[in-house]
Structure 1
Amino acid sequence: MSKPHSLQMRELRLIQLYSNWEFSMTPTQFYAKWGVSYEQIALICFRSDSTVRSWFRTNRNRRYPTHNDLRHLALMDFLLEHFEEIPEHLRRLLCLSNSQ
């Protein structure tokens, strides 16, 4: 077993930046921009179809996405916008090299 990397100033700064990152997109914004189905949003956010449908309700049974759901949608939006710009070696690291 290898010894864990010790955190240096660079890593501590990155952790701080990440923890304050305002990277989010609402389901409504994503749906309007990409014309996806609720089922596709559920797949992106690792949620059930019924959970995603509840995000779009306007009555008292409405539920709200978590911060993680908003981050998943923002990341997917980023990938959809910039996939071709990502260098091949980074795509491999992201396990996206076989996707087109």
Structure 2
Amino acid sequence: MSEAQQHQQLLELHNQMFMSPQDFSYRWGLSYEELAKICAISKSTAYHWLGGQASRREAGLPYQRIMAVADFLFTNAEVINPLLEQWHNSQPPN
């Protein structure tokens, strides 16, 4: 498989990754404040994603993808953390 085909396959898999706020927060024991930090949203929005039926809002697909990717990172942290540290250390300073 060529590098271009691998990239295309990776993008296709990424575009199929979705996770609801309820599933993600339950799986990792997250509060709405922690969920807000991970998704870079307001606490109010995260609260409404996890709230009762009267105030519940649906998370958009881009946010469901963020949660799926975060779930993947958390699940594979033992392997991914050294790679993230290497990537972080290679970034130019701000």
TM range (shorter): 0.7 to 0.9
State how 1:66-81 maps to structure 2 within 5 Å: 66-81=60-75
2:29, 2:80 → 1: CA distance?
Answer: 23
Question: Counterpart of 1:84 in structure 2: which amino acid?
Answer: E
Number of aligned residue pairs: give it: 85
Give the deviation of 1:77 after TM superposition.
1.0
1:64 — aligned with what? 58
Moved more, 46-55 or 10-19: 10-19
Partner of 1:84: 78
Residue 82 of structure 1 deviates from its aligned partner by 0.6
Structure-2 change in CA distance of 1:22 and 1:87 (3 Å): same
The match for 2:18 is: 24
Alpha-carbon deviations, 1:27-57, whole Å to 9, x = none? 1001111111100000010100000111123
Gap regions ≥5 residues in structure 1: 1-8
Give structure 1 regions of 4+ aligned residues with deviation exceeding 2 angstroms: 9-17
Structure 1 residues 87 and 52: alpha-carbon distance in aligned structure 2, compared to 1, 3 A threshold:
closer
Larger fraction in helix: 2
TM-score after normalising by structure 1? 0.69
- Residue 49 (structure 2) aligns with: 55
* Secondary structure of the structure 2 residue equivalent to 1:22: coil
Tell me the CA shift for residue 14 of structure 1. 2.6
TM-score, length of structure 2 as denominator length: 0.72
**Alignment partners' CA distance in 1, 2:70 and 2:11:** 17
